[in-house]
Each structure stands twice: as structure tokens, then as C-alpha cells.
Structure 1
Amino acid sequence: MGARVGLFSLLLGGVCAQLEMMVDSPVAAQLGSQALLPCTFTVADAPISPEYLAVHWYFQDQELASYDDSLNISRPGASMDTKQLTSGNASLVLRNVTVSDQGAYRCLVIHSPDRGEQSLYLAVLAVPTVVVPSKAVLRGEPNLLKCSVSSFHPADIIVTWLRAGEVLPVSPLPAPQRNPDGTFNVSSSLTFQPTEQDQGVTFSCQVLHAALPRGALQTDFQLVFGVSPVVNIHAPMFVQGKAQVLTCDVKGFYPEAIAVNWLLNGVRTEAPRVNPNGTFNLESFYQFKPAAESEGAEISCEVQHETLSRPIVRSVRVHLEREGTQVSVIVLVASVLVSALAVAGVAFFLYKRSRGKGWLGRAQLHGAFSCTHPPRPVPGGSRQGRSEYPCVVPAAPQSLSASPAAGARSSF
């Protein structure tokens, strides 16, 4: 909108001079760009004479630039084209505009004996950046999707969630947070429980803001059905002054992108394989050399994944053992293992020996009681159809203590 101001000077020597000024306000400029603050003027019935001309620009009552026979600049990046002044153009150019440049400016023109002043407003705009950082959800469970809108100015903004083009109900948008450069950030959340019907459906985060050329910016995406990781931390026995390696096992997660961090007493210290079911595993290692003051320290493995609303943290406490104690424990364990193996070996030997002796005894007895003579009828007739088989039993070997006496006769 243009504003036109006509200023009339004093009467000097019966001559009436007239100074007329024109500005356009408001002026909009993108953050980091160049802003042109237009200020033009005309002098009626007289040419513009440099020796009678002075121009001053003010912002919040501080002078930014001035011309009075020469150009003086107070604001870095500000400039005026002095060659255009005699044509009635006193516009100011601001380079690399920041949020702090937003506000009201005053253009003061003096063409002696006349003077004129006009104000205009500069609005600094910053286009928002829209990101849905995680599209992974857990099937059949309550999930939280976030739409992060950052680095925008001014603070007024509208964020809408859509499913297949239809507006979804969401909680009210929180107040935007101001960044050090004067721009703003805000995060909108959508809480819902996805089902099979949501797979392949387009979801959107739509943003309405004054800095957008078409008024709206929209980010479309589809859900990724993920699997949360299982996290375990493995630690050795801690010995003062001896470096040891801890392992953080992260298994069964999907999608693949994941962050694993190591923390010592809560302070970050240091920083996959595909499973048959399409999930991933990851092992992270941390070398730690405990000192005397490490007693009671907490070592943590922190895992961040798209399917997690907050990181998984697994921790161990440092309990120092003397190195001699560790050696003694190792020796004790080794002794127990050796003893157990020895006992098992003796038991096995005795078992095999007993089995072998029984077989040998049966073989010897078979040879000792073998009969070479034909059967002889028992005097008085056989009882129950049996006949007597007389056999001469040779002398038993010394090892067969249970054998019949040498030369004994046996009937069977």
C-alpha cells in the first residue's frame, strides 16, 4: 500500500516551495536476502540541488545511513545510490537481512528550506522446513508420529495432518519455540493405532504460513511397519588399570537405521547384519580402562530407533576387582575343571574295565566247561527226560576265582 505525504515548507522571500514524498509499506523480504526500502521525493517548481539536499534513514531511533554532501553508513550492509538522489530516489538497500532487521524505518529528506519524513515497515519472512523424522510404526499398538516444522518467521503457523486427503483430529499445536536467530520451531504430534488398512495409504503433514509462496507446504509419506530392537549389554570383570571391552548387543530391529551411543555416568563418551526375517542385528564395542575413581561408575548403552518413542538404555555398574583376585578365581575354576575331568576319566575307565571283565569271564567259563564226551545215561533212568552230561573241568585260571575246583565233575 502506498502512502503519499505532501509537506509544505516555510515561506521564504515570498516564494512557496513544496516537497512531496512517497514510500511503499509494508515491505517483505526473505531471511538472508536483500531488502529494498523505497523512498522517493519530488520538489515542485524547482530542480533538486545537491547542495541543498540531505537524506537520513532511521531504524528504532538509530541512524543507519545519511547523506549530506557525502554518504555515511552506520549499519553494515546498508547502501544508498547517491547518483539517484538528484532524480528524487533516496531508497535504502539492506543486504543479508536478519530477523532483527524487522520493524519500522523512517526516511527523512531535507531540501532546504523544505523537509519531509515518512515511515515504512519491513517484514522479514523465513520459509518453514517441514520434516516427518520417523515414519516407522508398530502394528496394532499406539504410535506417535511427529511433524517437525523449523526455522520459520513470523511465529504464526497452522499444521494439519491428513490421511488420504482427509483431515485427522490432533491435539492443539504447542507454542512455537524461538531460535537464537529469531526464527521459530514447532512440532505437531499425531497419536493413533495403525492397522493393516493403513499400509500403502498416503499420510500428509500440511503447513500454512505467510512466508510460503503458495501459502501451503505439504510433506507426503507412507507408513513403515517396524520392529523394536532388543538390547543387552555384556561386561567383563573390571580390573583397575586394565583395559576391557564391553559389548552392546542390539537385535531384531527394523528398519535398519539405528544409533548406538555409549555413556559413562550419563555423559556420552564414544560411539548390521540381516536376519532371515528381514530384521537387523548390531554389535557395538566400547573399550574401558577403569581407574581407582571408576568404582561405582555407570556405563550405559543407549539405542535410538525409529520405532522407539524414547531411547532404550542398558547399564552396568563398575565394581573393581584386584587383578590377583581375578587370577585366583581363574586358577580355582581351572582346578575344578581339571579335577572334574580326572574323576570322569577314572569313572569311565572303571566302567569299561568292569564291562570287559564280565565278557572275558563268560568267554573263559565257556572254554572251561566245554564237553568232548558224548552224553551218558544217568543210572536209574532219566528224570523228566534229562540225561547226564559228564564233563571234566580243567583247572581254573587264577583270575577266575569263581570257577569250580580243578578236576570237579559237573552235571547240567
Structure 2
Amino acid sequence: MKYLTLIFIIPVVLGEFHVFAPYQEVKAAAQSTALLPCFFTVAESKNGLRFVIIIWKHKGTELIQYMDSIVKKSSRTTLLESELQKGNASLVIRNVVFEDEGDYECEVTEAPNSETRRIYLHVTVAPNISLKPPLVVVDQNNSLECRAEGFYPGVVSIEWLRDSQPLSSQGPVEIQNNPDGSFTASNSYTFTPTVSEIGGVFSCLVQHSSLNGGKEEIRLHICKPTLTISPRILKKGETKVYCKLDGCLFSKVTMRWLKNGYTSHVLTCEERRECISSTDVILSIPRKEWEEVSCEADLDGINKPLTEHATVTLEGVPEKTALGVALIVGFIAGFILLTLICVAFVLYKVCKKFQKLCCFYEGQCYVKKQTWRTKRKRKRSSLTDGANMKNKLKLSIFGETTEILKRQQQYQMEEANSHDVRFIETPT
């Protein structure tokens, strides 16, 4: 700065006409106020600014003019009028927009001398950088997106890093134009970390001319969120049950309790490593010895909520009472089913054993008619055959048992009279 001041003072001492611009390029953020510096000295200081003319142009179009102590200016541009007598012809631009970018000409004339200096104005807009989801969960396929919105100019770099090292197989940066003249860029990456990578640093690095140092890094930590409910056994007089979410740095979490199908005790946590919600569970013996509760947590960036179920019981009451009841009901249902299977199996065996008497064809069943005939003077072997048939007839259909017994008595009487017996089947 001292160097620039000396350069500016030397022409004044020598009494020479000179126009000086300390910078050839100036950066200004959109919607801010830009100052384009331009200084001059006059050859005849005794005349003051009587014969001095100052004109500023942008892309060949006149913006402002100073002549005969009158300043012609626009709504957003002006000169530092109080500084003109000191040789300061700097241009002030208020509420800078993208269209203000470009070459500016500072022309100062002291007849017959005239000089022009050029300054380039760079309009910049810092990007709004976001990272979705805001956390990386282990054993989960994380579809990540690093996004830079509303920046200008449109030259940007987006890179994924793990432990400050670039990740392999990175996709290209997609850039699109916004209606207001700014730009939006994004870069996506799919990543499935393992438990061994918990504690590692995963980050997105954005580089743009508007940023401090030219770059900005957003970091994520690889973590594993856990949800726990405690206590599950309440002592006498206790009613509070707590649901705890931890394991990560959560940008936003919504927790809620579910009891008997109803939602209650909704809690929201932001920028926390731990979030705890509580609910009341009132139990008593023998009216209500246990209760089923559930705790859910919606994590910003994770589509599926975390859920934890628990059976809360009183001290001295088995924790799994509800499970025991369910097991008993299941046992009874299983016993009934097994009984039906056994009955069906027995019926199947009976019908198979008496398939000569029970015939199932086309949904109809018929019974073979039994007839008896006797002949005299048969061999003894026929009597033996009749005895075997007697045993078989005892296993016939239940409706014919009485008839068989009668026939058996008749057979015994005939055998005593040395008569032969023959069993003839005649289908009905």
C-alpha cells in the first residue's frame, strides 16, 4: 500500500498529468457494493478541476460523467464526489449483479491531455454446499450426493475424499444453469462402509473462486446408529421408560413412542450425538403386569426409520409373559392340527386295509353282497377254508358284524353234521 501511495504522490510533486489504476482486476460478490479504483493528477493544480472531465464506461456504454462540477450518474453507480479534489475518480457500484461483470474504462481528460485505464470486474457468488445424506451408516448402501447451488462463475470442482484421499471411480460433475444466471453442480457417489471403517472421515471437497482459500470441505463420519429401550423391568413405583439413540452425529432426528397402536411423545433433536425420549408405563398386579411398547426414530438422510420393540414388565413378573401365552396358544393349535392329521391317517389305513369292501371310485362306494351256500360231502380242506374266511369276516364293515355272527353259528352247526361249507361272493 505504501508503494502505491508513493506512485500516486510522485506525479503530484512533479506537476504532471497522470491516470493511475492500482488493480487491473477486482472481485465483488453479487448483491454487494463494488469499488473500482482510479486515481489521477492534473498538470495545472491551480485550476483545480475546472478543465477536468471524468467518464466511466462499461462494455463501451457510458455509465457516469463528471464535467463542470456536475456528476451525471445512474441509479446504481456513483463517484466519490468528496474525493474528486484529491484525485480520486473511483467508481462505486451498488447491488452488484451478474450483468455488471466485464471491462470498465476510467477515462480522465485535462485538455489537451487524456488517459484511459481499464479494470475488469469479476462478479462472484459463493455456492451453497450441501451433502445428502448427512451421515454414512455402516453395512448400508449409501447413495451420496454433494451439491453446490447458486454459484458464479460456472467453473467448479467437486471431489469425494476418505481420510483426505480421493476416492476411486468418481463420477463426473454435472452442472446446470439457473434462471437467475447462477449455476448448480452436483456429484454422486455410492458407498457401503464396513464396521472396520467406523471412525473414518468421509468428505466432499468443493473448489470455487468465491470461497475463502478457494475451497471448502464438508465432512461426514462413518457410524452405526443404535436404538435401545430401558429399563424393561420396572421396580415398584417406577413408571418411566427411556428410548436412547446414539452412535452418530445426527443433524436431525424425530423420535416417537408407539403403544397400543397410538403414537405419543414425539421428540425432535438437531445436531446431537445422543437423543433420549421417555414415556410413562403404568403397571400393577394383577390388573396389568406387562405392556408392549415400540420406539421409532426417523434420521435425516435415511429413508427407513429405526425401530425397537420391548415388553415392559413389573419386577417379579416373568419378562416374557406375553410370549408364554403365545406359546401356549400355539401348542394348543398344534395339538389340534396333529390330532386331525392322526385321524385322517387312521381312516386312510382302515380304508386301505378293507379296500376289498370299501371301494372309492368316482366318489361312490359300494359293498359287496355276501351269500352263503352249503354242500354236503366236501373235503376237509373246505372246512379249513371256511375257518379262515370266518376270521376275515370278523374284520368286515361294522354294519355286517351281526350277520356274520349268525352265519358263524350256522356254520358250526353244519360242521357238527359233517357238512361242507363254501363262501361265494356275488357282487351287487
What TM-score results when the alignment is normalised by the length of structure 1? 0.50
Q: Which has the higher helix share?
A: 2
TM-score by length of 2: 0.48
